[in-house]
Amino acid sequence: VAFVADSGIHALHGLPDWIQKRLHQTGQLADQLGIPLYLVGGIVRDALLGIPNTDVDLVVEGDGLDFAEHLARRFEATVRAHRRFGTATAVFPDRTKLDLATARSEHYPRPAALPVVQPGSIHDDLGRRDFTVNAMALRLNTDRYGERVDPHHGLDDLRQGLIRVLHPLSFIDDPTRLFRAARLEQRLNFTLESVTERLLREAVRTGLVDRLSGHRVLAQLRLICEETHPWAIVERLDGLQALQAIHPKLNASDQVRQAFSAIDREKHAGVSLPKAFWLFYILALVHAQDEQTLAALLTRLRPDRKLAACMAHLPAMRRLARAVTEERIDTPADFFRHASGLSPETVRFFAWTSPEAAVRERCAAYYLRDRHTRLSIDGHTLRRMGVPQGPAYGRILEAVLYEKINGHIHNEQEERRTALAVWAALQKKEENETPGKTGE
Ligand code: CTP
């Protein structure tokens, strides 16, 4: 049973000071304009649970964009309006922001289509939402500050730790909600209410996931991978057959679990993690798949170029890893030659997750050190040293780079010396390959 604040006022008092200040200010402005104003969505849920959340979502019964303009004038905020949705983001001089929307009703013209939206009441607005715990509002007007609007008994579900849809067509209207349900359930350590779970399974069984664009499915996977404990959600989605609905071969196998825990370890170690850390969990989810399945996933999910390259390079990286374990690759330069055509994140993924220590070490050395290796000399240096200009330049510099990667070169002088030696060897080879040429 979750701890839940006993009143809306209590919940609001638990919010950070800057948010409380903004809520009072906007509440007073709404009073002056004579419009009802509410705090809504995830922040209400989390405030009642005492969980930190700084995504301030406000709804006005009236013109949200107009209210945003008033806010902008009064508090020197800049407003970015999204007219089509009747929403706006206000950014204040101290860089804090809040989102504003016009209370609206929604209906879905067909399953999984984007909804048709009309202005409506706060009840309409709450009624179009996904789960009861997300469908509560707290009034912000001064005389009714903290009053809870909870037509779907979200507070009861919050107390019981249940994720419950508002109506039986919820997953049909918006199948992304089935991913959201599992994500929220696992994050809060709640349970899917039994009818909701049945509806979710039915939505999966009847192929509703297929109606979502690749972009929307991937956005859900990304949100999952950005959670604190993504593995629990992946496992849950497997149990609900929802992973398989994305592609029949996706699953929460032991191999996938091991990759997730290896990446968890890196996340907790926390040394210079990239912004797009979620990408590594996506790789963990798909890394064990064969080439054909990976190609199908690329077609299905349509990731951006970077993620697409990371996924597409998995099979080649797998072959390279096998070559390392079988000791067919034994120098750093040898590894570099093969790895440099691959996306660095794919190599880094193997540095973190490969079960073979030799592979992890090679990949880490490449990712952290070898791929950054640069020479002090260049084509100009070769010319000054008297090497005749031509295609040999590329081969000489490459050979010197490999020697440097292999640790045989320590300064510019050694680079020059090696370059000349390589050039001499190339000339000799050429002579041997064209017999008679020099004898004529
Ligand atoms: N919402 C919905 N259906 C969706 C997406 C969102 O009903 N498919 C509603 C929910 O009421 C949700 C609110 O819009 O609370 C805001 O959406 P979002 O910011 O995505 O959700 P949060 O609940 O704030 O989730 P999180 O805590 O992950 O930010």
Ligand 1 centroid–CA 433 distance in Å is: 70
Average pLDDT over residues 178-187: 98
Whether the per-residue pLDDT at 325 is higher than 70: the answer is yes
- Interval 388-405 mean pLDDT: 96
Distances 3 to 51, 139, 152, 160, 218 between C-alpha atoms, Å: 10, 22, 19, 10, 33
d(CA 129, CA 41): 9
| Percentage, residues of the chain above pLDDT 90 | 90
> Best substitution site from 59, 106, 134 to test ligand 1's pocket, by max atoms within 8 Å of Cβ?
134
pLDDT in tens, 150-163: 999 999 999 999 99
pLDDT for the residue 268: 92
Q: Where are the beta strands (DSSP E) in 164-264?
A: 191-192
> Is the pLDDT assigned to residue 294 strictly greater than 90?
yes
Which atom, in ligand 1's list, is nearest to the CA of 57? 16
What is the CA(231)–ligand 1 centre distance, in A? 21
Mean pLDDT for the stretch of residues 365-378: 97
Burial label for 234, CB within 10 Å (0-12, 13-18, 19+), is buried
| Nearest residue by C-alpha to atom 25 in ligand 1 | 42
Q: Which atom of ligand 1 is nearest to the CA of 135?
A: 11
Q: Which residue's CA is minimally distant from atom 23 of ligand 1? A: 42
Q: What's residue 439's pLDDT?
A: 45
Q: What is the pLDDT of residue 271?
A: 77
How many other CB atoms sit within 10 Å of the CB of residue 248? 11
Q: What residue owns the CA closest to ligand 1's atom 14?
A: 41
Query: Predicted confidence band at 122 (pLDDT cuts at 50, 70, 90)?
Result: very high
271 or 159: whose pLDDT is higher?
159
Residue keyed to tokens 């008297």: 386
Range of lowest pLDDT (62-66, 186-190, 399-403, 414-418): 62-66
Across 100-107, average pLDDT: 92
Mean pLDDT value of segment 238-267: 98
Report the alpha-carbon distance of residue 121 to residue 104 in Å, rounded: 6
Q: What is the pLDDT of residue 435?
A: 66
* Residue whose CA is at the smallest distance from ligand 1 atom 29: 42
Q: Which residue's CA lies nearest to atom 15 of ligand 1?
A: 41
Residue nearest atom 22 of ligand 1, based on CA coordinates: 42
For ligand 1, residues with CB inside 6 Å are 41-42, 55, 129-130, 134-135, 174, 176-177, 180
* Cα 41 to ligand 1 centroid, rounded to whole Å: 6
Q: Which atom of ligand 1 is nearest to the CA of 174?
A: 8
pLDDT at residue 146, as a whole number:
97
Write the residue with the smallest CA distance to atom 12 of ligand 1. Answer: 41
What is the 134 CA–ligand 1 centroid distance (Å)?
7
Q: Look at ligand 1, atom 9, and give the residue with the nearest C-alpha.
A: 129
